[in-house]
Structure 1
Amino acid sequence: MEHANIVIATLVLYFAGLVAIGLWASRRTSDNEDFFLGGRQLGPWVAAISYAASASSAWTLLGLSGAAWVMGPSVIWVAMGSCSGMLVAWFWIGPRLRLHSHERRQLTVTEFLAGNATGRPRAAIVIAASLIILLTFVFYVAAQFQGAGNTFASTFDMRPQTAVLLGAVIIMVYTLLGGFWAVSVTDTVQGLLMAVTAIVLPVAALVAVGGPAGLVQALQQQPPEYLSWTGGARGITALLVIGGALGIGFGTYGQPHLLVRFMALRDARALRQARAITIAWYAIVFTGMCVLGLAGRVLVADATNPETVFFTLTAELFPPVVAAVLLAAVLSAIMSTADSQLLVAASAVAHDLDPSRGKAGRALMRSRLAIVVIVVAAVLVALYLPEKIFSRVLFAWNALGAAFGPVVFLRLAGWPLRPGGVLASMLAGFGFSVAFYLLPNAPGDALERLAPFFIALAIALAARRRG
């Protein structure tokens, strides 16, 4: 009981700090440009850490460590896929998108996707993109709420349903208060906490197994397929496993809650600095979670749910106060993604789907009402349609990447795209993602992660303007 009380007290203080940030940010929010892009004045540290934290979510701390527990060394391909997508985004997409959106005063990713289209073609693109964002983010945010439920259920005697509702209310409150500034600053605090956790917990686990040499020696007792770099697969199947894992990187290019960070950066210098910080963060967190999962295989050999290995090791290796801080890191991962996605989904409802725009005050009110509606929908999905966090996040990630990624690449490359081609590409990318997700899994989920993106890319290329 004492442990539970310490954890609760620590988390209450942590959440109070997040709400205080929301109140501070509310003073800097007077119109939709402030609410959705922070007045385009994002600095390097806030941009970098908030991007990284929003990209990683609960699946990095819980899902990736659990995947390493199940997959062994072959989890490296999952980590490489995620990191390669980040590198392409920061070196190629980011500089171009920042300039493009600043010059055209584009406020949302949907406006960027619509480009110069007018009339009915533009309306069709905006409606399709907005609906894809709303449908996908409801399931994506639901996965974050599930992560919150798992966190509380694994720590003390609280029903997962109650935990889901509690996490949803906290996230909703500070997102409503300060919009983009609140989300970005709180994401920075949360991202730094995640990085510290990704150092402290894996190091403690390594010490517990006897250091790197002890870990290698213990893993050698595992079955040969666990130690394989392809999970025991061979030939074409091995290539599909590797290709499917690396294909996670393609989803990065179409994530609206990440792309808006580039649109909000204040200048090119801030972008270059943010890029270096993001790369360092990814190296720390992804390496740490892979090591944690491998060490967990030795220390928690009988785990019934690999996604709870993080909690088990936290409770076993640390005193209550430190464990509470590490649990706050999990909730940070959850909230840093959910709040960003709520904000983008709200922009789709309140800005993109409202052609008249209206007065600033009314627009902000619509944005905040949209957040409430999306939170309610995500809570219902989390409570009544439960699924593994890793699976649900990757579906949403792949669907957004396939729907928007090809158009993002071609538009930033200067290719003239027909509105009909843009619309067809988005619908095909999303539709095939859903179809392949519902079909039986191919080795490494290669079809689900690669085919929709390249089908959508081919459609967009075929429909480009010529001459």
Structure 2
Amino acid sequence: MGSISSQVGIIIAIIAYLVGMLLIGFITSKKNSSVGDFYLGGRQLGPLVTAMSAEASDMSSWLLMGLPGLAYLSGLAEPFWTAIGLAAGTYLNWLFVARRFRNYTVEAGDAITVPEYFSNRYGDRKKILTLIAALIIVIFFIPYTASGFAAIGKLFASLFSMDYHVSMIVGALIVIGYTMTGGFLAASLTDLIQSIIMTIALIVVLVFGISQAGGWAAVVSNAQQLSGHLSLFRSHIPDAHNFWAPGTSGPYSALTIVSTLAWGLGYFGMPHILLRFMAIRDEKKLKLSRRIASVWVVIAMGTAILIGIIGLGMSRAGTIEVLPDSSAAETVIVRIAHRLSEFGFGPALIAGVILSGIIASTMSTSDSQLLAASSSVSKDIVSGFLNRKMNAKGEML
């Protein structure tokens, strides 16, 4: 009976989250009266929405699955230096790019897409720069968006015992539904809510995981028994035959650290992040957005890394299964959520929120990339380069 109530609690929480996303799309659709409203929210975003939607759309499921899994298997070194690089990239992107790019796009003919900005700024009347930039976005974002839909499908399939292909289609339809109806504003507001859900998921898993692992001292003790697991300059290599043997460790060289830190360079030029810079209502508020975004990124990634170490302690304590390989280790938060759901209907609802956080981390990236790709096709290629006229609502004339 407990198992049935647990499943019901999880399903109720996830369905409530999904319905909420669709409702936001429907409500915000009434505020879209022009192409600029649909693709850029009429440049009316507040500092909190700007900051959190930018970071939620960037993190993806890597935050709640990849990062904890990496810490679980290899220890602190790689996830720590990766997080440092990403945190630095986030801060510097907001510091050097955000205000300049926001102001440039306004001055350059009030551009509402990144490709349009290039042609406007450099006087490209034939819109060749618009076409090139739009094609780059479409070519690289469509596969990335599709991979997000695939991830949603896998998660739905595992949670609801549905066919994978059906699950993927359902997940894609939900993302497309609220993005198509509400546009940029819907994507931004849902990303804000999704970032809140992700934060709740991280905090609950952190607290619950420590208690289930036998306390923080036990978590640290278990990790210390594995060679190099808590070192910032060595990477743990698990024993092939006994996961709990000390194993070995390899050096994390200065070159490797620099290469890992370079992850942060990827932030500069991401179209879905640049769109958030363009959309803020008051460019003077970007300083506040930068602080919110930078603090959240540091806390979120730090917590995710700790969860990987805590998951190791829970495995040692026998409260979740031992996760011996990378694909299994990435599900550490999922397994902790299912462990929480075993304590009754109320905890199962909370577990459903945690699992919704994983779904949210994927959806928040997919919706932003979907919108960036669709604007590149309709606004930049069809309307800009091919010169097909659209009315104020974006409909072809």
Q: TM-score, structure 1 length as denominator?
A: 0.73
Q: What's the CA shift for 1:215?
A: 1.6
d(CA) in 2 for partners of 1:113 and 1:364? 24
d(CA) in 2 for partners of 1:66 and 1:150? 17
* Partner SS for 2:226: coil
Question: Is 1:360 aligned to residue 365 of structure 2?
Answer: no
Q: What's the CA shift for 1:357?
A: 5.0
Question: Is 1:19 aligned to residue 22 of structure 2?
Answer: yes
Partner deviation per Cα, 1:184-218 (whole Å, 9 max, x = no partner): 11111111111111211112212222333222111
Q: What's the C-alpha RMSD, in Å, of the aligned pairs?
A: 2.0
Question: Is 1:263 aligned to residue 278 of structure 2?
Answer: yes
Question: Is 1:187 aligned to residue 191 of structure 2?
Answer: yes
Q: What's the CA shift for 1:130?
A: 1.4
What is the identity, as a one-letter code, of the residue corresponding to 1:31? Answer: S
* Partner SS for 1:363: coil
Q: What's the CA shift for 1:258?
A: 0.5
Q: Is the 8 A contact 1:44 1:273 kept in 2?
A: yes
Candidates 208, 229, 239, aligned match of 2:254: 239
d(CA) in 1 for partners of 2:159 and 2:376? 36
What is the identity, as a one-letter code, of the residue corresponding to 1:244? Answer: S
What is the identity, as a one-letter code, of the residue corresponding to 1:116? Answer: Y
Question: Is 1:201 aligned to residue 170 of structure 2?
Answer: no
* Partner SS for 2:331: helix
Question: Is 1:275 aligned to residue 267 of structure 2?
Answer: no
Partner of 1:7: 10
Q: Name the one with the larger helix percent.
A: 1
Taking CA–CA contacts closer than 8 Å with sequence separation of 6 or more, which of the two structures ends up with the larger relative contact order? 2
Alpha carbons of 1:90 and 1:249: their partners in 2 closer, same or farther (altered >3 Å)?
Answer: same
* Partner SS for 2:64: helix
Q: What's the CA shift for 1:343?
A: 0.7
Partner deviation per Cα, 1:100-146 (whole Å, 9 max, x = no partner): 112221111112334314255x41x3222212211211221123223
Question: Is 1:58 aligned to residue 58 of structure 2?
Answer: no
Partner of 1:316: 339
Partner deviation per Cα, 1:406-453 (whole Å, 9 max, x = no partner): xxxxxxxxxxxxxxxxxxxxxxxxxxxxxxxxxxxxxxxxxxxxxxxx
d(CA) in 2 for partners of 1:222 and 1:117? 60
Candidates 203, 210, 215, aligned match of 1:211: 215
Partner of 1:144: 148
Q: Is the 8 A contact 2:69 2:330 kept in 1?
A: yes
What is the identity, as a one-letter code, of the residue corresponding to 1:189? Answer: I
What is the identity, as a one-letter code, of the residue corresponding to 1:144? Answer: G
Alpha carbons of 1:152 and 1:141: their partners in 2 closer, same or farther (altered >3 Å)?
Answer: same
d(CA) in 2 for partners of 1:99 and 1:333? 30
The percentage of counterpart residues that share the same residue type is: 34
Partner of 1:405: none
Partner deviation per Cα, 1:251-284 (whole Å, 9 max, x = no partner): 1002100110000111133212222221221122
What is the identity, as a one-letter code, of the residue corresponding to 1:352? Answer: D
d(CA) in 1 for partners of 2:132 and 2:229? 44
Q: What's the CA shift for 1:365?
A: 6.7
d(CA) in 1 for partners of 2:371 and 2:396? 13
Q: What's the CA shift for 1:225?
A: 6.4
Question: Is 1:30 aligned to residue 45 of structure 2?
Answer: no
Q: TM-score, structure 2 length as denominator?
A: 0.86
Partner of 1:220: 224
Q: Is the 8 A contact 2:41 2:185 kept in 1?
A: yes
Alpha carbons of 1:365 and 1:119: their partners in 2 closer, same or farther (altered >3 Å)?
Answer: closer
Q: Is the 8 A contact 2:308 2:332 kept in 1?
A: yes
Q: What's the CA shift for 1:361?
A: 5.3
Matched length? 362
Q: What's the CA shift for 1:96?
A: 0.8
Q: Is the 8 A contact 1:154 1:308 kept in 2?
A: no
d(CA) in 1 for partners of 2:74 and 2:212? 21
What is the identity, as a one-letter code, of the residue corresponding to 2:197? Answer: L
Candidates 108, 127, 132, aligned match of 2:113: 108
* Partner SS for 1:67: helix
Partner of 2:88: 84
Structure 1 unaligned runs (5+)?
367-467
Q: Is the 8 A contact 2:219 2:312 kept in 1?
A: no
Alpha carbons of 1:174 and 1:348: their partners in 2 closer, same or farther (altered >3 Å)?
Answer: same
Partner of 1:118: 124
Q: Is the 8 A contact 1:148 1:167 kept in 2?
A: yes
